Structure 1
Amino acid sequence: MPARTTPSLTPFLTAYDALLARWPVPVEALTVRTAHGTTRINACGPADGRPLVLLHGGGATSTMWFANARALTEAGHRVLAVDLIGDPGRSVHDGTPLHGVPGLLGWLDAVLDELDIREADFCGHSYGGWIALEYALHAPARVGRLALLDPTQCFAGYRPHYLLRAVPLFLPHRTPARARTFLDWENGGTSPLDPDWRELYALGYADFPASPVVTGPRPTPERLRTLTAPVLTLLAAQTRAHDPHHVARTARRLLPGAEAAILPGASHHDFPMAAAPDLNPRLTTFLAPTRHP
Structure 2
Amino acid sequence: MRHDRVHLVGVSIGGWNAFHLALHAPEKIASVSLLDPAGLFGRITWKVVVFSLGSVVPFFPESWRRGLLSWISGGADASDDEPVANLISAGMRDFATFLPPPTYPTDDQVAGVDVPVLALIAGRSIIHDPRKATLRARRLLARGVVELWPDASHAINGEFPERVNARVLAFVDEIDRTGRTGDTP
Deviation at 1:185, TM superposition (A): 2.1
Alignment partner of 1:234 is 2:113: no
Q: What is the aligned counterpart of 1:141 among 18, 27, 35? A: 27
Greater Cα radius of gyration, structure 1 or 2: 1
Q: What is the aligned counterpart of 1:259 among 145, 162, 173? A: 145
Which fold has the larger relative contact order, with Cα–Cα distance below 8 Å and residues 6 or more apart in sequence?
2
Which residue matches 1:87?
Answer: none
Deviation at 1:213, TM superposition (A): 4.8
Which residue matches 2:183?
Answer: none
Q: What is the aligned counterpart of 2:82 among 192, 195, 205? A: 195
Alignment partner of 1:178 is 2:47: no
SS at match of 1:129: helix
Q: For the Cα contact (< 8 Å) 1:265–1:274, is it kept in 2?
A: no
SS at match of 1:217: coil
The CA RMSD measured in Å over matched residues stands at 2.2
Which residue matches 1:284?
Answer: 169
Closer, same or farther: CA 231–209 of 1 in aligned 2, 3 Å: closer
User: Which letter maps to 1:178?
Assistant: W
Unaligned runs of 5+ in 2: 181-185
Closer, same or farther: CA 161–178 of 1 in aligned 2, 3 Å: same
Alignment partner of 1:122 is 2:8: yes
Deviation at 1:273, TM superposition (A): 1.4
**Structure 1 stretches of 4+ moved >6 Å:** none
Residues in 2 aligned to 1:128 and 1:236: alpha-carbon distance in whole angstroms: 15
Q: For the Cα contact (< 8 Å) 1:239–1:266, is it kept in 2?
A: yes
Deviation at 1:260, TM superposition (A): 0.8
1:85-108 deviation per Cα after TM superposition (whole angstroms, max 9, x unaligned): xxxxxxxxxxxxxxxxxxxxxxxx
1:116-141 deviation per Cα after TM superposition (whole angstroms, max 9, x unaligned): 76421111111001111111111110
Residues in 1 aligned to 2:22 and 2:83: alpha-carbon distance in whole angstroms: 32
Q: Percent same amino acid at aligned positions?
A: 27
1:209-230 deviation per Cα after TM superposition (whole angstroms, max 9, x unaligned): 5232543322212222321101
Unaligned runs of 5+ in 1: 1-47, 49-115
Residues in 2 aligned to 1:257 and 1:227: alpha-carbon distance in whole angstroms: 8
Which residue matches 1:274?
Answer: 159
TM (norm. structure 2) is 0.83
User: Which letter maps to 1:266?
Assistant: A
